[in-house]
Amino acid sequence: MAVSALGEPCVLLKLGEVVLKGNNREVFEQRLQANIKAALKEFGFKVDVRQRHGVIALFLPEGTSAETADAVAERVAYVPGLVWIHRAWRVAKDPDAVLKAAIELLADREDVKRGVSFAVRSRRRDKRFPLTSMQLDRTVGGELNDIYGLPVDLKNPELVVSIEVDRDEVFVHTDGLPGQGGLPVGTSGRGLVLMSGGIDSPVAAYRMMRRGLRVDFLHFSGIPFTTSESIYKAYALVRALDKFQGRSRLWVVPFGKAQQSIKASGQDRLAVIAQRRLMLKTAEEVAHRLRAGALVTGDSLGQVSSQTLQNITAQDDAVDLPILRPLIGLDKTEIMAEARRIGTLAISELPDEDCCTLLAPRRAETAAKIADLKQIEKRLDAEELAVQLADSLQEYKLEG
C-alpha cells in the first residue's frame, strides 16, 4: 500500500470547556486560536488554523513530514483550552480514500502485530456524505478485520480508529495526546504570582494559567545577604512554565535589607508573618503597575506555620487585591505529583539560598494577631517601604 494513501498530515484539536460558553464563546475561541498560533511560531512556518464545531484543525504547509506534524501536536498539547490532540491524516471525501487510509494507518503498528482488539468510530459532521456513521464503521471495520485479523471490541477496544467526516475533507486518526483542559490563557484577566523557588508556587501558577489567567511572576531575593542562586532557580521555573502561556515575565525584588529591618523589630515569633504581609503589600504595588487584578500564592491550608487559617486571615488583611490560592485544599503529595507532571519538580528540588532562611525563628507564631502585626508595620512604615521595594523592581527577560 502506498504511503500516499494516508493523505496529508494534519493535527486535530478537541475543545473542552470552551464549547460550553454561550454568547461569548467566539471570544474564547479567538483567544485560543491566537494562543495556538503564538505557540507554533517556533516552527518557522505558517499553520492554517481552521475553526469547526468543537474542533480546531491545523493544516500544515504542503510537504510537511509526519515527524514535524508529530512535533506540532506535542507542542500544542501544552496550550490550555484543549482536551485532546490527534495527529490525523486528511483524505478526500470518498469512501474508498477513507478505507485505504485506515488500512495504511495500521500497517506497521506493533500493537496490530500483537493482535490488539479494535473498534472503528465515525462521526459525520457533514450529513451529505454517502455513508452514515454506522455504515462507515461497518465497512472500514470489516475490511480491517479481514486484512489484519484483529478481534472487534466495541465496548473497551485497545485500539480505536477514528473517522471524522468534515465539510471539505475526512480526518482519519488513532491515538491522541491528552491536552491541558481548562480555559485559554488570557480569557480570565491578569494575575501576579509570588514565585518562590519551592514546589508549590509553580504549581499554583500553572493551575491559574489553566483557568485562563495570564500571569507575571514576582520573586523576592535575599540580595544583598544571599547569592543570586534563588533568582536563577526562579528563572528556570518560569522558563519551564512558559510553554503553557508564552511571553512570561519574571520580576525580582531585592528583599534582604527589608528582612533585616523586620528581624531588628524584636518580634521574633511574628517575623515570618510580618515578612509575608510586606511581600504582599509590595506585590500589590507591583500588580497595580502591571495592571494585574489578583495575587497568586502557593499556600496550602495547614502545610506550614504561616498557612494556618489565622495566619492566612492575617495575610489577607494586608492588601485589598484578592489573593488566589489554587492549592489551598491539596496535600504535599498531590502538589508534588502535579509538579512532576508539568515539569517543575526537579527544578524546585535543586538547592538554593532562599530569602526565607534569613528569618528562621525557633518558634513561629501560628495564630498571629492583626493588631500586633500592624504595630510592627507602623514602626517600619510598611506602606512606604513597599513602594520603595516596588521601585527597586528588576525584570529578567526569558531568552529565545
How many other CB atoms are there within 10 angstroms of residue 20's CB atom?
9
Annotated binding-site residue? 288: no
Q: How many residues does the chain have?
A: 400
Annotated binding-site residue? 315: no
CA distance 323 to 340: 25
CA distance 163 to 161: 7
Helix (H, G, I), strand (E, B) or coil at 217: strand
Annotated binding-site residue? 154: no
CB 331 within 8 A of CB 300: yes
Helix axes 25-39, 66-76, angle to 10 degrees: 130
By 3-state DSSP, what share of the chain in percent is helix, strand and coil, each rounded to 5?
45, 20, 35
Annotated binding-site residue? 118: no
Residue 17 CA, distance from chain mean position: 15
Q: What is the DSSP letter of 390?
A: H
Alpha-helical (H) ranges within 149-294 are 200-209, 229-245, 256-264, 271-290
CB 104 within 8 A of CB 6: yes
Q: Which distant-in-sequence residues (6+ apart) come within 8 Å of 306 by Cβ?
A: 272, 273, 276, 315, 364
CA distance 363 to 366: 9
CB 180 within 8 A of CB 85: no
Grid coordinates representing 358 are: 534569613
Q: Which distant-in-sequence residues (6+ apart) come within 8 Å of 304 by Cβ?
A: none
CB 217 within 8 A of CB 251: yes
CA distance 342 to 113: 33
Annotated binding-site residue? 7: no
* Known binding-site residue numbers: 194-195, 219-220, 276, 298, 307
* Known binding-site residue numbers for ATP: 194-195, 219-220, 276, 298, 307
